[in-house]
Amino acid sequence: MTKSSTSAKKSKTVKSQNLTSLSSRHVLDTLYTTLLRRRGADPESSYTAKLYEKGRAHIAKKTGEEAVEVVIASLAEDRRALIAESGDLLYHLMVLWADAGVKPKDVWKELDKRFGTSGIDEKKSRPL
């Protein structure tokens, strides 16, 4: 393999990783926008509207249930279930964010701020 073909492969891999990252963010941002639009919709025709109608405590409870289902699927080493339950968890978490007025970009900023910092150091920096 020539040096230029190796370089081209590396460049393609980096671009692919960046596109995956941007695509994932775009999907979550689009989902968030859709969730905001469902606020005030007919709860008989929209599950999201039904969640909003039941209130934040209910949304938080559903988010917790989905988190537990992710853990169970993980421990069962059931990849397909883990993927499906992760989708459910992200959906419910984003409904919770929307209800609480938390924008995905605020969470992305928080994650970006932590990037490159040891998790141990980051936890030590938090107030008690």
Question: For 20-67, what is each residue's pLDDT tens digit?
Answer: 455 566 889 999 999 999 999 999 999 999 999 999 999 999 999 999
Residue type at 62? K
Judge whether 95 and 48 are in contact, CB under 8 Å: yes
- Whether residue 105 has pLDDT greater than 80: yes
DSSP state of 41: S
Q: What counts of helices (H) and strands (E) characterise the chain?
A: 6, 0
User: Average pLDDT, whole number, for the chain?
Assistant: 84
Q: pTM score, two decimals?
A: 0.73
At 110, list the tokens. 């928080």
pLDDT > 90 fraction of the chain, expressed in percent and rounded: 62
| Predicted pLDDT of residue 126 | 75
Q: Note the pLDDT tens digit of each residue in 67-104.
A: 999 999 999 999 999 999 999 999 999 999 999 999 99
Per-residue pLDDT, 13: 42
Distance CA 72, CA 85 (A): 9
Domains of the chain (ranges; CATH) run: 42-101 (1.10.287.1080)
* Interatomic CA distance for residues 74 and 78, integer angstroms: 6
